[in-house]
Structure 1
């Protein structure tokens, strides 16, 4: 698992929107025994996409950084999110950026610039966020997921849900986590505790992207 201490200037870094992303990725890396050759970083003053996009050009100008991975949420519009990241990369000198992010994530090498990689949660194909990605880690045969979905559908149909429908996946995963042996585990801890699968198809594709990105 990538270490947490004194990682600001490791030559290989993964930039994420927030602490939840970091803990989920740490847990997956630990389960898959990835080499400890990169750090997982987030914006220092604020979390979220805007803070990440502000710090991105600064990271890319840091001559000590040799490889930079970027993990962001698609939120409501995958195309818009990919474009916002692409624009920042183009401003920093990157060329030949595809119009659409590949299904398996994007990795690119360019002379005199850090090796770059981008993953858009949940799976580079759909709108959504980290919580959608983690929901895919619930085992297929799990009956509590079906029950949680039914309950959320019931309260949403009755329009008594305090959360917005855009946060349905957040409500789903945290409802499901509340019903586990240790209720209310954080998502990363649930991976470590094997309540969530680290060998689901989406997790494996993400890990392969990390391995390719940070390989020497």
Structure 2
């Protein structure tokens, strides 16, 4: 930031996500569903990343741990009205829910359920910012953004089963260089590599209607957004 220039004022309504892919997928869904642009979609960042290692440090300067560490300060922003949180459930949905719930409790939020509701969680205490939490993919299963996006593939698509077969074959042969945790990433990006525009980003694939923005999981997510931000 140029010397002497003040940082932009925080938005009154914010949605926190783990990374740029989440950000672009949500922007694309909001555009397709004509969600009013009354909130910002933000990727929390650690300050002062090492510029010379910016690509290598991306995972350590953003992501779930960075988001959680900054949550208390974010909730104390004086003009904050509504804060949404979208994070991956990863391998243990309840552990991820507890991690978010504990941070919210530390910030004064009570009456948080022991497990996430299927429709996403929204809470509006009288003297604190309104909050909402969505665990990717659907608040009920372990997984990540890429699992959510896989549900946007049209049900009659003929390439996705072939992508599943290819991924399974290379895993059985021990040729995969990714860990089992990242299998959903390998699968969705294999499928995207076979489209008319090979390798398009997930958000762009929604905009191009390669992925269906009207699938049940997308409609449920947008319904949660609308309720959280009171549209």
> With structure 1 as the length reference, what TM-score do the two structures score?
0.95
**SS at 1:152 equivalent:** helix
Aligned residue pairs, count: 211
Aligned match of 2:87 in 58, 72, 80?
72
Partner residue, 2:54: none
Secondary structure of 1:196's match? Answer: coil
Question: What's the TM-score, normalizing by structure 2?
Answer: 0.89
Gap regions ≥5 residues in structure 2: 1-6, 47-60
Match of 2:130 among 115, 135, 139: 115
Question: Cα RMSD between the aligned structures?
Answer: 1.1
1:63 to 78, 90, 113: 78
1:23 aligns with 2:2: no
Flag the 1:47–1:137 CA change in 2: closer, same or farther, 3 A: same
Q: Distance in 2 between matches of 1:8 and 1:62?
A: 10
Asked if residue 210 in structure 1 is aligned to residue 225 in structure 2, the reply is: yes
Return the offset for 1:180.
Answer: 0.3
Secondary structure of the 2:70 match is helix
Moved over 4 A (4+): none
**Which secondary structure does the structure 2 equivalent of 1:65 belong to?**
coil
2: CA distance, partners of 1:33 / 1:50 = 31
Q: Deviations over 1:30-88 (max 9, x none)?
A: 00000011000111222110000011111101121100000000111000000000000
In the alignment, structure 1 segments of 5+ residues that lack a partner are: 1-5
Per-residue CA shift, 1:91-124, capped at 9, x if unaligned? 0000000000000100001021100000000100
Distance 1:185 1:49, change over 3 A: same
